[in-house]
Amino acid sequence: MRRQTAPYQTRQVRFVDQLSLVAAESAVSTSRHFLRLALSKWQAALIEDDVLLVASELVTNAVTVTGVLPKPPAWDELERLGLVHVRLVGLSDSVVVEVWDVSDEPPRLQRVGDDAEGGRGLLLVQELATRWGSYRTTGGKAVWAQVAVRPPLPRRSPRGERLGGAAVAPPGPDAALLRRIRAGLDTAL
Ligand SMILES: Nc1ncnc2c1ncn2[C@@H]1O[C@H](COP(=O)(O)OP(=O)(O)OP(=O)(O)O)[C@@H](O)[C@H]1O
Ligand SMILES: [Mg+2]
């Protein structure tokens, strides 16, 4: 069973960055800009690709469930828009992306056939994250995914001296396949 609490304790947290967004289509690209900057600030840019993919899926789902207006909202429509919150939490060996929305309905991983058009977002999250889940919050829930940051591997110079350097766990073949499927679907739409 997926855990129903945040996947970390306060004392384990090394940094937190958070952004609140109206549930409009622009929330996905804005959250990607925000996370790119935050990861760079926290020297975690090496895992940017995976974090941004995971966040895009979670934010898209959060915006969908919150209910996005079909066109750019007029000023007097803004109060009808719900909010989603994106939070990046840094731990010693990983980062956690949390996306909060107003629905208390938990996300459900779907079994999809080869020709299904949708239902793969959380499958991608599952492949890229070491673990993921959701927990109830006041007024809704948070869906989270944890992405590993491997500690720097000792590298050696040609003369055998140790050099610094960071490495990130490469995604497995399933993640690569899911990325290609996602890219194909995006091109087709
Ligand atoms: N934040 C959420 N709140 C409530 N239900 C959710 C949330 N995220 C996902 N779900 C549920 O889980 C299902 C699976 O989500 P998933 O992202 O895998 O597929 P999808 O959003 O339906 O399609 P795709 O992501 O491929 O466009 C959704 O159809 C929805 O019913
Ligand atoms: Mg989705």
pLDDT at 180: 66
Distance 118 CA to ligand 2 centre (A): 7
143 CA closest ligand 1 atom index: 1
Tell me the residue type at 100. Answer: W
Give the mean model confidence (pLDDT) for residues 1-30.
88
Distance 58 CA to ligand 1 centre (A): 8
Taking a C-beta distance cutoff of 8 angstroms, is the pair 19, 31 a contact? yes
- Which residues surround ligand 1 with Cβ inside 6 Å? 57, 61-62, 65, 101, 103, 105, 107-108, 110, 118-122, 143
Kindly list the distances between the CA atom of residue 102 and the CA atoms of 22, 86, 176, in Å, as whole numbers in the listed order.
12, 13, 32
**Ligand 1 pocket: which of 100, 122, 128 to mutate (most atoms within 8 A of CB):** 122
Question: Sign (positive/negative) of CA torsion 101, 104, 109, 112?
Answer: negative
Taking a C-beta distance cutoff of 8 angstroms, is the pair 6, 136 a contact? no
Distance 100 CA to ligand 2 centre (A): 14
Ligand nearest, relative to CA of residue 109:
1
Distance 65 CA to ligand 1 centre (A): 8
Question: What is the phi/psi pair of residue 112, to 5°?
Answer: -125, 145
Taking a C-beta distance cutoff of 8 angstroms, is the pair 136, 122 a contact? no
Question: Sign (positive/negative) of CA torsion 81, 183, 186, 30?
Answer: positive
Q: Domain ranges for the chain, please list them.
A: 10-188
Quickly name the fold that domain 10-188 has.
Answer: Heat Shock Protein 90 (3.30.565)
Taking a C-beta distance cutoff of 8 angstroms, is the pair 7, 96 a contact? yes
pLDDT at 170: 46
What pLDDT, in 10s, does the model give residues 54-93? Answer: 999 999 999 999 987 657 778 888 777 889 999 999 999 9
pTM: 0.81
Give the mean model confidence (pLDDT) for residues 27-39.
97
99 CA closest ligand 1 atom index: 1
What pLDDT, in 10s, does the model give residues 135-186? Answer: 999 999 999 999 999 765 666 666 666 554 444 444 454 666 667 666 666 6
Residues in the chain: 189
Distance 154 CA to ligand 1 centre (A): 40
Give the mean model confidence (pLDDT) for residues 100-121.
90
Ligand nearest, relative to CA of residue 134:
1
pLDDT band at 24 (very low <50, low <70, confident <90, very high): confident
pLDDT at 114: 80
